[in-house]
Amino acid sequence: MMNGRIGLLSNNWKLSLYLLPAIAVTLLLVGYGTWSAVAQSFQTIDGEWTIAAYAELFSSHAFFHSLKLTFRVAILSTLLSLVIGLVMTRMLYELFKDSTSKLLVWVPMLIPHFVAGYLVFLFLSQSGLLSSLLYQIGALENRENFPVLVQEKFGIGIILTYVWKEVPFVILMLLPVYYEIDHRYSEVVRTLGGSKWDAFKTVELPWLLPVLIETSVIVVAFVASAFEIPYLLGVTRPEMLPVRAYEWFYNGDWGKRPLAFSAMILPGVIALLLATLSIGAVQKHRLRMIKGRSR
């Protein structure tokens, strides 16, 4: 027993040594950058510590409009990506198992986000290719009758771009889970008179739920902090928080820079809280599944 514990401690120590370089680089680069941003959000130009930037943010209606738009776009993009990615995975996982066709689904992941946003603008703007095609075939009397899908206040074009980009990522996360599920249990549920929804809820969802939660946190955090697509496809007012922070940082007024840092730290804190809560929930769910399987 004692030898086993010593061996386990030795393995843990070796594992810590192997991970030390990656942890050190992460702390030096990400940790220092995060600390620098937090410190500058609490400092004036003269280096004095103050909460004036946060007080100004919370008293600004424009900030709350940007915050509302940011999380509306992030949440809708995430939900649509999860639903579409889940449906596609359920329909096509058998085909993907024995075929290289799944590479076609992941092609959008190779396209940079700025290029993806430009393609959406090129196809879906009122002067874009789709409106021109509909006008040429007589489906539209005027190009102005084409619905405004980009550079409008709700963020439809931004959402469509993120959905197009993130659905392959969702499929990439879900495919390994579907290969691990014993789908014979679904057949048992159907044999006992259950519907497709019963089979999904009873057999597939317990396996998928942890991955769905983790994927949703990743996508929400990414969309809420990304700059390129909102800058290209968004409107001047209200703009998403990354665009507003960019304007505060580069508008030439150094007094606005603490506002830029604080405007981006708040979504980061919210994303960190969501990640912490989701990790706890996922771990509890996985422990329940392990205990259920061991009985």
From residue 164, alpha-carbon distances to 107, 116, 126, 130, 237 in Å are: 11, 8, 20, 17, 25
- Per-residue pLDDT at 98: 64
| Reported confidence tier of residue 293, pLDDT bands at 50, 70, 90 | low
For residues 29 and 87, the model is more confident at 87
pLDDT digits (tens, 9 = 90+) for 256-274: 778 888 888 887 788 788 7
Closest by Cα among 214, 239, 215, 216 to 227: 239
For the chain, give the percent of residues with pLDDT over 70: 87
Measured CA to CA, the distance from residue 58 to residue 37 in angstroms comes to 18
pLDDT (average), residues 139-160: 86
| Reported confidence tier of residue 2, pLDDT bands at 50, 70, 90 | very low
What burial class does residue 232 get, using C-beta atoms within 10 Å of its C-beta: 0-12 exposed, 13-18 middle, 19+ buried?
A: buried
Are the C-beta atoms of 267 and 241 separated by less than 8 Å? yes
pTM for the model stands at 0.81
Say yes or no to pLDDT of 123 above 70. Answer: yes
